[in-house]
Amino acid sequence: GANAVYVERAGTISKIERAFETEEHLRRVVDRMLRTSGRRVDQSSPMVDARLADGSRLNVVLPPLSVDGPAVTIRKFHATGFTVGDLVRQKSLSADAARFLGSSVAGRLNILVSGGTGTGKTTMLNVLSDFIGQDERVVTIEDAVELTPHMHNVVRLETRPPNAEGRGEVMVRDLVRNALRMRPDRIIVGEVRGSETIDMLQAMNTGHEGSLSTVHANSPRDALRRVETMVLLGGTDLPLRAVREQVASSIDLVVHLVRDPIGRRYVTRITEVVGMEGDIVSTADLFSRGNQVLDGSLALPELVSTGLASARLGARYAATPHAPAGTATSGSR
């Protein structure tokens, strides 16, 4: 509402004294912000998600859906963007894990970034995209543009809501299907959460290796289950085993992030999707949080290599010219 304004700084949320004069004042500010985005919010369309001119994300929910008055959320992003070096310095990643992920992207592994809300999935996606070669053609697809890839040949696509007559909607699935006709080397989908999931998996498996996406999930295993569920709910006629085979053959790595109670965001696991074992998708943790290291006065588990990797992944990883020395595998799992 107009009198409840909260700000998050360095992972800590606090209420500030400044407030809007009335709810009508708040509505006028919202309408002014939305004016340049081509989107609207009113009683016939009481929820909206939009991108502001500076790249910030705006979400608005109006009464009666928001019981205590308009709920406005603005997500601002780091002005210059984070680099992999920033994540290592913040202990979001270890140096070894960063080198591994860099080589994995350069080696065109398909990577799914998972985690809850506000864990830094989009930041990680941006960092991973920095390892893509400048000579590659990349298509990014998002509901509202957040990614800032630095390749020369990049096409950024954004969905479009229906107009006041309910026409003209362009969904993520429409854009994924169209992207396949744009001769991309890689496709980056900001988040898979619906029927577009099967199209993304098929793209990963049919000449667009090295593609990236994110999914809301509580663990790497949960991420794969959510992908399965979204494919099945998307209207596909495939049996469950066939869906799991598609998942196992399309996704190579899952990078899982968390946000802890004091606001730190970091990778907890890097998990390989090994393949099928019977009717189950088999996985193996390649990096996980193990030994304790001191971060100020608080202990933060260190992200360390488990020494495990399948022969399949090892062969692909070692083939890239960017693979660091000492790369080894422990055999299939």
Residue 47 is part of a domain; what is its CATH number?
3.30.450.90
Task: Note whether residue 159 is domain-resident.
Answer: yes
What pLDDT does residue 130 have? 95
Same domain, 69 and 90: no
Residues 162 and 227 in one domain: yes
Whichever domain contains 130, its CATH number is: 3.40.50.300
Burial letters for 271-294: b for 16+ Cβ neighbours within 10 Å, e otherwise? bbbbbeeeeebebbbbbbbeeeee
- What pLDDT is attached to residue 299? 75
pLDDT of residue 331: 34
Q: Give residues with Cβ within 8 angstroms of 130, minimum separation 6.
A: 83, 84, 150
Asked if residue 88 and residue 69 are part of one domain, the reply reads no
User: Are 107 and 29 in the same domain?
Assistant: no
Calculate the CA dihedral of residues 110, 307, 103, 264 and round it to 10 degrees: 80
Same domain, 157 and 266: yes
CA torsion 32→158→120→123, rounded to 10°?
-100
Q: How far is CA 23 from CA 17, 36, 80, 178, 317, in A?
A: 16, 21, 34, 42, 56
Do residues 138 and 61 share a domain?
A: no
Whole-model pTM: value is 0.83
Tell me what pLDDT residue 296 has.
52
Q: Report how far residue 284's alpha carbon sits from residue 269's, in angstroms, rounded to the nearest whole number.
A: 10
DSSP 56: -
**Cβ(110)–Cβ(210) under 8 Å?**
yes
Give how far the C-alpha of residue 202 lies from the chain's centroid of Cα atoms, to the nearest Å.
18
Q: Is residue 44 part of a domain?
A: yes
Domain membership of residue 136 (yes or no) is: yes
Whether residue 291 lies inside any domain: the answer is yes
Q: Is residue 21 part of a domain?
A: yes
> Over its length of 333 residues, how does the chain's per-residue pLDDT go in tens digits?
788 899 988 778 888 887 888 899 999 999 999 988 878 898 888 999 888 888 888 999 999 999 988 999 998 876 667 899 999 999 999 999 999 999 999 999 999 999 999 899 999 999 999 999 999 999 999 988 889 888 899 999 999 888 777 788 999 999 999 999 999 999 999 999 999 999 999 999 888 999 999 999 999 999 999 999 999 998 888 899 999 999 999 999 999 999 988 888 999 999 999 999 999 999 999 999 975 554 554 678 889 999 887 777 777 666 665 544 333 333 333
In the chain, the amino acid numbered 308 is L
The rounded distance, in Å, linking the Cα atoms of 285 and 279 is 20
Helix (H, G, I), strand (E, B) or coil at 299: strand
Specify whether 53 is located in the same domain as 167.
no
pLDDT of residue 291: 53
Same domain, 15 and 111: no
Look at residue 53 and tell me if it is in a domain: yes
pLDDT at res. 305: 93
Other beta carbons within 10 Å of 40: 16
Provide the domain count of the chain: 2
Residues 197 and 111 in one domain: yes
Regarding whether 53 and 182 lie in a shared domain, the answer is no
Contact 58/49 with Cβ under 8 angstroms? Answer: yes
Residue type for position 311: A
The identity of residue 172, as a single letter, is V
Q: Do the domain assignments include residue 234? A: yes
198 Ramachandran zone, left/alpha/beta (phi>0; psi -120 to 50) = alpha
- Among candidate residues 25, 48, 75, the one where a domain is terminated: 75
Domain termination site, one of 75, 107, 127: 75
Please check whether residues 279 and 185 belong to one and the same domain.
Answer: yes
Considering 75, 97, 131, which residue would you say is the last residue of a domain?
A: 75
Q: Do residue 33 and residue 121 come from a single domain?
A: no
Determine the structural domain holding residue 58 and report its residue range.
6-75
Domain presence at residue 331: no
* Cα distance between residue 76 and residue 53, in whole Å: 11
